[in-house]
Structure 1
Amino acid sequence: MNSTALSHQQIRKAPKVVLHEHLDGGLRPQTLIDIADEIGYDKLPETDAGKLADWFFKAADSHTLELYLKTFEHTIAVSQMSHTCARIASEAAQDLAADGVVYAEIRYAPEQQLRDGMMLEEVVEATQAGFEEGIRKAKEAGHEIRIGTILCAMRHANRSAEIAKLAVAYRDKGVVGFDIAGGEIGNPPEKHLEAFNFLRKESMPFTIHAGEACGPDSIHRAVGICGANRIGHGVRLIENIDLSGDNVKLSNLAHYIRDQGITLELAPSSNLQTGAGAETIGEHPISVFYALDFNVTVNNDNRLMSRTDTSREFQLLSETFGWGWAEIKRCTENAMESAFIHQPERSRILEQAIRPFYAALEGNTQ
């Protein structure tokens, strides 16, 4: 334990940015229980909020992405009606804002929310209404947050072209980008090339989950074949970086990722749970990527499954690697500059919500 590490409470006060947050991975345990009771869903493993939170964390701590993803069956089951979609989205906005997040891109897969008869458009509109309510309530509580939505297509399914068109249809109505999610093994990103080609034609940015369950070749396919603007996780890019000698050697792919400033949406706690390249925070390659000047960002991925928030992720990095305000500032600015919203809005949040806080810190240390 680093005795000079920043505390959770200190970091909580700092403005932060999240680019990789799954809506169905961040439910409040009590909300799960409430909705399950309302709809007659009797498959929850626990009906006490504290015990349910413990169950999700332990069940997700499987060290394989496939088993980790199975926990989502419960959260998806309670996300099948417009009012539950709205409640979940509203609470996500409030919870992130309370943690000091000033901008978040929250992603979800609307194709998984059609079991009770909703149409794709209804899912998007109900969720967006929930985000707007959450933003209002957060502001009333003294916390400002801006949220952009990323629509996901499931990479094992065949609706990606449809979801890409949905994302474009709701551009500037809350949706800012596109992603593919789900099991990485056996589901290469180029399977969805039609969707990615359409998005490029429509000038719509997208990120791709890659380099989590699969190695650097998955990242190459996401970037080189599909043209991803950002990489969801990308943690296994470390396998293409040789640290054995006096001089660090990067593969052509690693050079390209760094040279082009392609953003790595890293989520340390989640990466440990899915076995993505590390078993402890100390072994996580985020500090290597940071030191080598990759475009590093720090994210939650799934707050419920990882029992975390953005402040805790930075706290762990502070305790483990000695990160201070300079590292938090740089990762926050990296994330804001990599956001899928338009440049004037990115600049506004940077100049009004982020940089004044860190400038004040620097002033206090002089």
Structure 2
Amino acid sequence: MSSTPHPFDDEPLLAGITVLDISQGVAGPYCGLLLRQQGARVIKIEPPGGDWSRQMGKSRDGQTAISVACNAGKHSVVLDTRAPEGRAALQALALHADVVLQNFRPGVAARMGADPVQLAAGNPRLVYVSISGYGSEGPMAGLPALDTTMQAYGGLMHTNRDPATGQPRRIGLLLADLATALYAAQCATAALLRVARTGRGQHLELSMLQVCAALQSYLVIEGALFPGAKASPFNAPTGLFPVADGMLYLSMLDDAMFARLCKTMGFDDWLQDPALRSSAGRLPQAQHLSARLAQALLHQPLAHWERLFKHNDILFGRVRHPFELLDDPQSADLFQRTPDHCAWPGLPLPRLPGQTHATDAQALVPPALGEHTQAVLREFGLR
């Protein structure tokens, strides 16, 4: 019996697209990485000293964890855009690009020879992506910005404040940077679709401040709907609970799940209490409910509770270290390893969520500074 042909192919989604990535740090380069993982060719322009992400944290052979995570698979080209010949080479490369990506303060890219209006005059199909901290207008437009300063100014630290003390806290990953990269990549691909339809390029401007606001939309709406009200969980009991050999997070999706939790834990009195039959009735008693649940959970290990909660369809998650993702049967396939022939073999790189095509080995290799300068410049007749 012949099998039915699969209706979809596995060609990379952005095959044939060229991205000129002149950004540095995290937000811009990670956007470029996403486009590379979707199949685009990404030419990364670096100054003679390299993208400053090569100096963020512990360094080995000219790379850091951040520079690898944000630039794998790109072609590194060193240009000194302070010199006329460097700016001229950048402008010449932009003539062949589908996307130009930068994340400098307003005005900096223009001084590098990458003014969006000037580049679009020579390449009207160009999608030009500008990422900044505060945007191109307003009293703070010219200020420098990093993930941490934007987490503070954009409200994320307040959202992540310590529940006991109210002290604002930095989120432990570069959320403002990474989320900005995701929005930028989505905007770039949407603009490429417009180019295919109309032949006209686009200048896209995103700020990290915009992204912080967008991430917190429901919190801002809640504040407008209920002025002055303290933030509260959506249901109870919910939260982080220690068990005999670790920690897990429990969340009550609805009243039916709460009833299943009561039966699982043997809390028959909760089942009989009319005040606890709805989320609205439980929320005022959230502290009491969580305290009793915490005491009960302490006496058994994770495996015991996981087995019970799975059987009774209760939302939970054990708290794990990121390294544990590499060996877990559920998540091990989420990673690929850099090939043996590169300078950094065996490094784990997460697969692109939603990726439909197989990743070629070169897409996993982090470039050495200037590794592709001569080859790329010769390819475009600049040597």
- Give TM-score, length-normalised by structure 1: 0.30
Of structures 1 and 2, the one with the larger relative CO (CA 8 A, separation 6+) is 1
Bigger-Rg structure (1/2): 2
- Give TM-score, length-normalised by structure 2: 0.29
